[in-house]
Structure 1
Amino acid sequence: MLAFALRRLFVSIPILIVSTFVVFVMASLSANPLSYLIARNPPPPPQVIEGERHRLYLDQPLLERYWHWLTGLFRGDFGPSIDSTVNIRAEIFDRFGVTLRLIVLAMLLALILAVIVGVVSAVRQYSKFDYTATFFGFLFLSMPAFWFAILLKQMGISINTAANDQILYTIGSGSIYVNGGFGAHLGDILGHMILPTISLALTTYAAWSRFQRGSMLEVLGSDYVRLARAKGLPRWTVTRKHALRNALIPLTTITALDIGSILGGAVVTETVFQWQGAGTFLLDSIHKSDVYALEAWLLVAATFVIVLNLIADLLYGVLDPRIRYA
């Protein structure tokens, strides 16, 4: 298993390098990072423009600029930002810290709901619960992420207005001023996470629950499950020990493949609820044509996706011993 993990890591490194190079080339050729400076009226002196060009390494060839950025990573240097007061390394990790708590909590909630609803729907196929779960699954699946987030935000505003109090937080990832100690700060953070987490989790859970239901139905109809039932084992024991473990393998695969989509959903969710996380950092970097900030965002996001896919591959061996022994 260790050798398999090391092989996957070595294969992921070239993928990571190629992805950063492609984004660097596309971002560098799409716009001029100094356009905001050149468009000023009155225009700044030529010396100022040349100074910024030199600071951003725009006076160097494209490949040399990429190589300078790539080698700088080993020194912890993520490159200069268009805003000279911004440290990209500190900013990107702060922003991703805000976003990861949303993604992790939303994924956990979506997985729990998907497993419970998928298993119960498969065990009670064509029951009222199955039809109801199918209806709501397709309902959430058909909702655009931004539209559902806006609906939840408006619902929160309506509840606050009706109660004449702050019941649900609809703006920001945390309050500016919080009176109290650690517990008060933690409660404030969790309160701001309620609506964004529900928005991201339900739109994600919908597809996962359908995969879990289909996988569970396939396993329940297999020969070894029928044999276990014929031996007189209790139904819950057969479902939990023999069926559920194998039925989780396809869900593990689709969860790993959906990491990129979840990151995209987090960008939309953060924009609607006005979080200062990785999503708004990405949009601001695109708007400003901040190439090095885009590269930093891609590097951290791609590393996150690769690590979670590696964890999913290792979970195959935990769920199915035959894979581990092979």
Structure 2
Amino acid sequence: MLRYIVRRILITIPLLIVGSFLVFALVQGMGDPLGEWKLVEPRSPDEIAAEYERMGYDDPFFERYGNWIAGFVQGDWGTTVIPGAGERDVKTEVMHGLWTTFRLVIGAEILALMIGMAVGVIGAIRQYSIFDYAATGVAFALFSMPVFCIGLILKSAAIPFNDFLQSIGMDRWITTAGPPPGGFNGSFGHQVTQYIGTFLLPTLALLAIQFALYSRFQRASMLDVLGQDYVRTAQAKGLSSSRVVFRHAFRNGLIPVITVFAVNFGSIVTGAVITETVFNWSGMGRLLIRSIYDKEPYMVLGVVMVTAIIVVAANLIADLLYARLDPRIRLG
């Protein structure tokens, strides 16, 4: 197992290097990274030339890439000049955005996975039942709705609910525009209440789409596994239905869902931009869009590289789980 992990990591390193080189080459066509900076206030030609030299934008392409990749490995991801806000450290900004998005995404993904698996398993066991038809209808309805539409519906429902709470002398509970600027404060119970009210709407918006995805994959996978010979053999031996389902079928039925979860988790880190925009969260998705709009190459590179590393790590964990779930799979 350890040998397999080391080999996968060694294979991943050149892939990340090639990917970083391609992205580095692409961001060179974004435009002048100091264009907005030069427009904030008049700059002399000497000031502009000095800033280009200091940021390394005048260096040859391969020298710039070599300096950047060496700095990235050592933890120096470069700096970016934001008009009106001064110079910002790329690593600090990316880590802040990553932490914000993780707090938003991780709860939604775990809940969606758990609920989706439960609904998918029950739907497969009770195929063509009322529950199966209802779960299928809800899943397709949620999957076909744009995430911004779900977000707006949730916000529209939360506003009158907050008005009702305020009318009976209580505080407005559900937050519709990002976390509180000063953070969570007060007693422990009050902080927990604030935390739930802040994360409730964006978590539900992300959960709705992901639940639809996981429930459909789990149902299809379980139906396929329940038709296998070894499951019929276990049933013929007189094993209870619960033992057949959870001991023999469920573990193997998890493999496609784990694959989807691994691929989906990496993409949702930056793909939650619509949810972050609707609910005014400054996470990785909005950071990437803003960096592209502001022509900040080092910020774009930082976001892309972190996302790539997360995708690689998620797929490695998924491969390790395969061997744990299915004894027929061996990792050499």
TM-score, with structure 1 as normaliser: 0.94
Q: CA deviation at 1:287?
A: 1.5
Aligned equivalent of 1:37: 37
Q: 1:265-298 deviations in whole A, cap 9, x for unaligned?
A: 4222111111122222212211211111111111
Aligned equivalent of 1:141: 143
The 2-side partners of 1:309 and 1:276 are apart by 26
The 1-side partners of 2:15 and 2:151 are apart by 33
The 1-side partners of 2:164 and 2:50 are apart by 56
Q: CA deviation at 1:51?
A: 2.1
**Aligned-residue RMSD, C-alpha:** 1.8
Q: CA deviation at 1:182?
A: 5.3
Aligned equivalent of 2:235: 229
Q: Secondary structure at the match of 1:81?
A: strand
Q: CA deviation at 1:212?
A: 0.6
Q: 1:117-149 deviations in whole A, cap 9, x for unaligned?
A: 000000000000000000011011111122222
Determine if contact 2:267/2:307 at 8 Å carries over to the other structure: no
The 1-side partners of 2:3 and 2:301 are apart by 30
Residue 51 of structure 2 corresponds to residue 52 of structure 1? yes
The 1-side partners of 2:285 and 2:188 are apart by 26
- Residues 186 and 279 from structure 1, CA distance in 2 versus in 1: closer, same or farther, beyond 3 angstroms? farther
- Residues 153 and 73 from structure 1, CA distance in 2 versus in 1: closer, same or farther, beyond 3 angstroms? same
Q: Which residue of 71, 85, 88 maps to 1:86?
A: 88
Q: How many residues matched?
A: 325
Between stretches 207-216 and 170-179, larger displacement belongs to: 170-179
Residue 28 of structure 2 corresponds to residue 22 of structure 1? no
Q: Secondary structure at the match of 2:324?
A: helix
Q: What are the ranges of 5 or more consecutive residues in structure 2 without an aligned counterpart?
A: none
Letter in 1 for 2:6: L
1:53-202 aligned within 5 A: 53-83=52-82, 84-164=86-166, 165-176=171-182, 178-181=184-187, 184-202=190-208
Letter in 2 for 1:75: Q
The 2-side partners of 1:73 and 1:23 are apart by 14
- Residues 273 and 63 from structure 1, CA distance in 2 versus in 1: closer, same or farther, beyond 3 angstroms? same
Q: Secondary structure at the match of 1:86?
A: strand
Q: Which residue of 302, 309, 312 maps to 1:303?
A: 309
Between stretches 78-87 and 288-297, larger displacement belongs to: 78-87
Residue 289 of structure 2 corresponds to residue 289 of structure 1? no
Letter in 2 for 1:25: A
The 1-side partners of 2:178 and 2:222 are apart by 39
Between stretches 187-196 and 111-120, larger displacement belongs to: 187-196
Aligned equivalent of 1:259: 265
Determine if contact 2:108/2:206 at 8 Å carries over to the other structure: yes
Between stretches 125-134 and 223-232, larger displacement belongs to: 223-232
Q: CA deviation at 1:235?
A: 0.6
Determine if contact 1:173/1:192 at 8 Å carries over to the other structure: yes
Q: 1:7-59 deviations in whole A, cap 9, x for unaligned?
A: 2111211221222222221112121112113445x632112211221122111
Q: What are the ranges of 5 or more consecutive residues in structure 1 without an aligned counterpart?
A: none
Q: CA deviation at 1:187?
A: 4.1
> Could you tell me the percent identity over the aligned residues?
42
The 2-side partners of 1:96 and 1:243 are apart by 36
Letter in 1 for 2:75: G
